Amino acid sequence: MDSAHVLSMVMLLAVCGAMLAGFQVAFTLAGVGVLFALVGQSMGVFDMLFFNALPSRFFGVMTNELLVAVPLFVFMGVMLEKSKIAEELLTTMGQCFGALRGGIGISVTFVGMLLAATTGIVGATVVTMGLLSLPTMLRAKYDPKLACGTICAAGTLGQIIPPSVVLVLLGDVLAGMYSEAQMSIGNFLFDPFSVIDLFAGAIIPGLLLVGLYLIWQITVAVFRPAASPAYFDVDVGRSHLLQQVVKVLLPPLFLIIAVLGSILGGLATPTEAASFGAVGAMLLAAFRRTLNWAILGEVVRSTTRISCMVFGILIGASIFSLTFRGLGGDEVVEGFLLNLPGGSITALVFVMILIFLLGFILEFIEIVFIVVPIIAPALLKTDIDPVWLGVMIGINLQTSFMTPPFGWSLFYIRGVAPEAIKTADIYRGVIPFVILQLIALCIVAYFPALATWLPDYLFG
């Protein structure tokens, strides 16, 4: 490698070291990008004219209609969290399954699936479900390890089940990378790829994960009944329960069907559907009489903080990637991946392992904006389907999100769990679910049609 390529690799190490040291991600990306651009210019291996592209990149971020969906989906999720819908769902589902062994675990998994399809915000879902369901599971004499593992697994479903914020950001990045990769190899007749394709592709793998979680809950209830006992043995009144189920489940189900159905049916873009979802969440909160100025102000502030973080990292990543490409770092990565023995399959396995390991120390937003633009172009120049690749990355990110010892959901559940629950119990509790995640990842890897069939069926 020449000096420019070596400098690009040092640049990667520098940004990872700075983030591990605790510096703010957005400023780290921008600062490292500018610093190495100046170093490269002084060495005669970088042309500062590359930075003339920054205004157009920033303008592209500001005018990207798809990215407007991010704050809208975040608003929808935070509003549903503050409107006590999660609490009502857990209570109602607990009444439905509470008389069965493992019933609360099944209820938590179902509610995690519904919250994933309505919020798409993992941290908030894990914390909310931990606060609401963990005390109930402990009162029911659940094994603390199983209780913590169930909550972590169900809470992270928001990574892969649409309308996940992860999928919106990942789909936007992959769409640009795919178009660029195909044109670079002279293919100008490729089928376009969009976030809508990724939404459709993630539905079946997401349901596969839910099914594996439920199978594990039932298995534990059968073979280790003391670990997941029934919550109660009395009749709660079936007619009243049916009314409660209809009252609590139908509104969020309608919102899910309206948002996802309008996107997959071609009736609305993701941004338009997100705006409908945000208004729908406000109407649900108003219907439950939980919407007031204090709640609305809290939701707006929370949405602003999350959105500023996302777009700040995106702008910083634009500076970083511009310098990295100017130094030829993308050529180094592409040459390394494409020259691995075994071709594209070996390259994909290497990338999956890399993303899994980076998920221990980096947030999903950082991986999407830093790592994916570096590794995706090389993979997308092969015969790898972009929908399949996106779903694989999504499941992988979800797996690393709850893998000991650095999984982010473990920190969330540790923050709300009582002191009587040891950190080691949380780690042991999530291990079976991490294994289930890896099984799901292998299944989707071996059967790509699980990710590609529904987009092909819906969009031809």
Nearest Cα to Cα of residue 27 among 288, 366, 298, 418: 366
Question: How high is the mean pLDDT in each 10-residue block of the chain (460 residues)?
Answer: 81 81 80 89 84 81 79 82 75 74 85 74 71 80 89 86 84 85 76 86 93 93 86 57 76 83 84 88 84 86 84 84 82 78 82 82 76 83 86 88 78 80 87 93 93 87
Q: Do 270 and 195 meet the contact criterion of CB atoms below 8 Å apart?
A: yes
CA proximity to 152, closest of 216, 92, 198: 216
- List C-alpha distances in Å: 392 to 39, 356, 367, 409, 451: 37, 11, 14, 19, 9
Residue 313: inside a domain, yes or no?
no
CA distance 128 to 126: 6
Three-state secondary structure call for residue 24: coil
Give CA separation, 300 vs 108, 296, 397, in Å. 28, 6, 27
Tokens of 105: 């675990």
Residue range 337-360, pLDDT digits in tens: 777 787 778 888 888 888 888 777
Q: What values do phi and psi take at 69, rounded to 5?
A: -65, -25
Q: At 2, is the secondary structure helix, strand, or coil?
A: coil
Q: Is residue 431 part of a domain?
A: yes
Number of domains in the chain: 1
What are the E-state strand segments in 284-440? none
Answer yes or no: is 245 within a domain.
Answer: yes
Domain limits at 160? 64-303+327-459
Tell me, yes or no, whether 150 lies in a domain.
yes
Q: Has residue 28 been placed in a domain? A: no
The answer to whether position 256 is within a domain reads: yes
Q: Are the C-beta atoms of residues 394 and 164 closer than 8 Å to each other?
A: yes
CB-based contacts of 38: which residues, under 8 Å, 6+ apart?
A: none
| Helices 69-82 + 270-287 axis angle, to 10 | 20
> Residue 39 and residue 237: Cα distance in Å, rounded?
73
pLDDT at position 240, please? 66
Of how many residues is the chain composed? 460
User: Is residue 21 situated within a structural domain?
Assistant: no
Residue 354: count other Cβ atoms within 10 Å of its Cβ: 15
Q: Are 327 and 8 in contact (CB under 8 A)?
A: yes
Predicted pLDDT of residue 119:
60
Q: Is the Cβ–Cβ distance between 393 and 372 less than 8 Å? A: yes
C-beta neighbour count of 56 within 10 angstroms: 9
Whether residue 319 lies inside any domain: the answer is no
Chain centroid offset of residue 72 CA: 16
Q: CA-to-CA distance for 141 and 228, rounded, in angstroms?
A: 7
Give start and end residues of each alpha helix (H) in 45-164.
54-63, 69-82, 85-97, 103-118, 122-139, 144-155
C-alpha 42/C-alpha 63 separation (Å) is: 34
